[in-house]
Structure 1
Amino acid sequence: MNGLSITTREKLKTISTPTIASCLYKKGFKNQAIQDVRPLKSGKPTMVGEAFTLRYIPAREDRNPMNIFRHADHPQRVAIETCPQGSVLVIDSRKDPRAASAGDILVTRLMVRGAAGIVTDGGFRDSASIANLNFPAYHNRPSAPTNLTLHEALDINVPIGCGDVAVFPGDVLVGDDDGIMVIPAHIVDEVADECIEMTRFENFVLEKVAEGQTIIGLYPPTHDQTLLDYEEWKKKF
């Protein structure tokens, strides 16, 4: 496994998450859409990157005094400082947004270091500030308290659950205004190629529907003429 190639990354930036969901469903992957997580601000470019993970567990008072953040090896801080360029920091916050997964200072640092985005199934503090960054960020809802209240950052770059989806380090996340899809790393190239073709065909269908054509036999293409027309249509490009 050589990681996410530049070519595949660029292809995925042009593909919608609903199209990826359909492609993965056809391959038998039915639970790859992260649930109850949304962008802090819509209209940003599509987020694409390999998963770099952080796992929280329930906090315990004797392990999480305020001075814990002074420790250079604190996992939350280490994750921010070691997430590779082009990767997405994915946080397992146990689907609990009552305590913050991070705030605007840490997210800004992650952005400056060249990460591709950040995702949590919990929440962020300073969410309005994070929303205005030129950086894709996804969460459940805003969180005012610190992560000390309920969460302890524990493990870095291990398999996690985020929004009811298994996320393994190196899996590829694609996020847009419709949501986030998790693509298993070993099939990402073929998914990107198939989705490019699916998107091309859907553009053809949209054009025909806008011209007044019925969807019967067109979508799905159950009429032979539809596929012939599609082949002719592709010659224009």
Structure 2
Amino acid sequence: MKPETKEKLMGVSVATLATALFKRGLRNQVIQDVRPVARKGRNMIGPAFTLRYMPAREDRNTLAEFRNPQHPQRQAIEQCPAGHVLVMDSRKDPRAASAGDILITRLMVRGGAGVVTDGGFRDSIVIGELDIPAYHNRPSSPTNLTLHEAIDINVPIGCGDVAVFPGDIVVGDDDSVIIIPAHLADEVADEAQEMTAYEDFVVEQVKAGETIIGLYPRTRDEHLKTFEAWRKKNKR
């Protein structure tokens, strides 16, 4: 991802990105039933590094797995490149935890840009206090071994009903998380930045008493002149 693309994505919302992707025919890019563990006031941005879970089978998922240095869950934490977002396919099942605070702390120390699961986290209060954006369905205390088996690293997955391919760009804000196909990241970031500038202009106009008819969406040409003057004044 280009540094300038990342910078642009830092200043736009998931909602705006969803509209930009919708214009390109992509309707299902927002990960469903996933929310911030704690709001950070800044966007989470990075290429996706994935971990896939499957249903656990009792003879394969005993507490002895904690001693296995090659266990995919631990390996995913140790292999996720700095600046990437670890995205976990936990089968939309938060009954058992996808990870806990110790693993997420290790991911943070290694430079991870964030972590997303469509399952749950144990120790979620502690994770929320860490300096790493984290998103999940809801808190969950049981170990993942009770219901889920970590089975594969950095392969295509489904997270919250969204297809996630390694290297896709993950953006999370204080509401939700969206997946941008890597080849669209530059143009979507450009358009979302433009959309955000106009929306900020609209908010000022509405607060000043302007009707939304013809303003949002813009269907009256006079608003374009006012917008251009606003951009010049605000250096947008």
Alignment partner for residue 43 of structure 2, among 37, 42, 46?
46
Alignment partner for residue 77 of structure 1, among 65, 74, 93?
74
* Counterpart position of 1:134: 131
Q: Residue 148 of structure 1: SS of its match in structure 2?
A: helix
* Counterpart position of 2:205: 208
For structure 2, which runs of at least 5 residues remain unmatched after alignment? none
* Counterpart position of 1:32: 29
User: Any conservation in 1 of the 2:105–2:130 contact (CA below 8 Å)?
Assistant: yes
Note if 1:7 corresponds to 2:4: yes
* Counterpart position of 1:221: 218
For structure 1, which runs of at least 5 residues remain unmatched after alignment? none
User: Any conservation in 2 of the 1:36–1:140 contact (CA below 8 Å)?
Assistant: yes
Distance 2:39 2:100 in 1: 19
Distance 2:228 2:173 in 1: 30
User: Any conservation in 1 of the 2:40–2:133 contact (CA below 8 Å)?
Assistant: no
Distance 1:43 1:216 in 2: 34
Percentage identity across paired residues of the two chains:
66
Alignment of 1:174-213 (within 5 A): 174-213=171-210
User: Any conservation in 2 of the 1:87–1:115 contact (CA below 8 Å)?
Assistant: yes
Offset of residue 43 of structure 1: 3.7
Distance 1:231 1:104 in 2: 48
Q: Give deviations 1:91-117, integer Å, cap 9, x for gaps.
A: 000000001100000000000000000
Consecutive aligned runs of 4 or more in structure 1 exceeding 2 Å deviation: none
Distance 2:111 2:162 in 1: 25
User: Any conservation in 2 of the 1:44–1:136 contact (CA below 8 Å)?
Assistant: no
Distance 1:52 1:44 in 2: 23
Q: Give deviations 1:43-84, integer Å, cap 9, x for gaps.
A: 432100110000000001111121112122110010000100
Q: Residue 102 of structure 2: SS of its match in structure 1?
A: helix
Distance 2:40 2:152 in 1: 32
User: Any conservation in 2 of the 1:39–1:139 contact (CA below 8 Å)?
Assistant: yes
Q: Residue 62 of structure 1: SS of its match in structure 2?
A: coil
TM-score by structure 2 length?
0.97
Q: Residue 220 of structure 1: SS of its match in structure 2?
A: coil
Offset of residue 232 of structure 1: 2.0
* Counterpart position of 2:84: 87
Offset of residue 85 of structure 1: 0.5
How well do the aligned residues superpose, as a CA RMSD in angstroms?
0.9
Distance 1:168 1:85 in 2: 18
* Counterpart position of 2:100: 103
User: Any conservation in 2 of the 1:34–1:180 contact (CA below 8 Å)?
Assistant: yes
Alignment partner for residue 118 of structure 1, among 115, 119, 127?
115
User: Any conservation in 2 of the 1:50–1:170 contact (CA below 8 Å)?
Assistant: yes
TM-score by structure 1 length?
0.97
Distance 2:29 2:143 in 1: 29
Aligned residues: 234
Q: Give deviations 1:176-225, integer Å, cap 9, x for gaps.
A: 11100110000000000000100011111111111111111111111111
Offset of residue 145 of structure 1: 0.5
Alignment partner for residue 231 of structure 2, among 217, 234, 237?
234
